[in-house]
Amino acid sequence: MVPLFVIVLSYLIGSISFSYLIGMKINKVDIRKHGSGNAGATNTLRVLGVGPAITVLLLDCGKGVLAVLLGLYITNGDPLIAAACGLASILGHNWPIYYGFKGGKGVATTIGVLATLVFTAALISGILAIISIIITRFVSLGSLIFISATTIMTGIFSSHFDYPIVYFYFLLIISALSFWRHRTNIERLLKGTESKIGEKSTVK
């Protein structure tokens, strides 16, 4: 019962939508009704600006970190439960129970989860993703590169980095989830119509 409790708790933590809360606090704006409609840091940047976006990014990352650490702490380091808690927090962000199951794409929360589970692979992949974003200015592309590269590196170098193999299988699930959530972004990238970072959205 304890592992189930901490997984459910992780989902509830992930369901806290900081972009929604900060949007309502600052401008009485439901972030889900403006810009891309996504409840995440990138849309917060477009709609509300840099300061709120950085705050949302850090808080959303923190949800993933907290969920994994709770799983490790409560189960005395069980990697299966830790990974399940991380996945649950991402699911909570994407489909938050508090906000009608309308959330974000889980990128920042995924960053927190992967940085806690597989730090070295996530760090290297994060550098690649940042370089990609600087060059192309496509956050969605950088996000997919980060998640894909982390998953591949975890699979190939799991023994070298001393990662439990169960992490790789959970990362496959997280990668598939992320690509599915970014399916419209992928379509726009292929068509050349994807929005670039720095483009502002007017609050209606």
- Chain-centre distance for alpha carbon 3: 22
Of 102, 101, 104, 66, nearest in space to 86 by CA: 66
Cβ-proximal residues to 129 (8 Å cutoff; 6+ apart), any chain: 142, 143, 145, 146, 149
Say what the pLDDT of residue 203 is: 47
* Contact criterion met (CB below 8 Å) for 71 and 98: no
Using pLDDT thresholds of 50, 70 and 90, give the confidence band for residue 197. Answer: confident
Write the pLDDT tens digit of every residue in 140-194.
999 999 999 999 999 998 888 889 999 999 999 999 999 999 999 999 999 998 8
**Can you tell me the distance from the alpha carbon of 91 to that of 117, in angstroms, rounded to the nearest whole number?**
17
Q: What is the mean predicted confidence (pLDDT) over 25-44?
A: 83
- The C-alpha R_g of the chain, in whole angstroms, comes to 16
Of 40, 33, 30, 38, nearest in space to 64 by CA: 40
Place of tokens 């840099």: 50
Of 185, 17, 4, 6, nearest in space to 101 by CA: 17
Write the pLDDT tens digit of every residue in 56-69.
999 999 999 999 99
Q: What is the mean predicted confidence (pLDDT) over 42-53?
A: 87
Say what the pLDDT of residue 85 is: 97
Using pLDDT thresholds of 50, 70 and 90, give the confidence band for residue 39. Answer: confident
**Can you tell me the distance from the alpha carbon of 125 to that of 176, in angstroms, rounded to the nearest whole number?**
17
**Can you tell me the distance from the alpha carbon of 117 to that of 92, in angstroms, rounded to the nearest whole number?**
18
CB atoms within 10 A of CB 178: 21
**Can you tell me the distance from the alpha carbon of 46 to that of 38, in angstroms, rounded to the nearest whole number?**
11
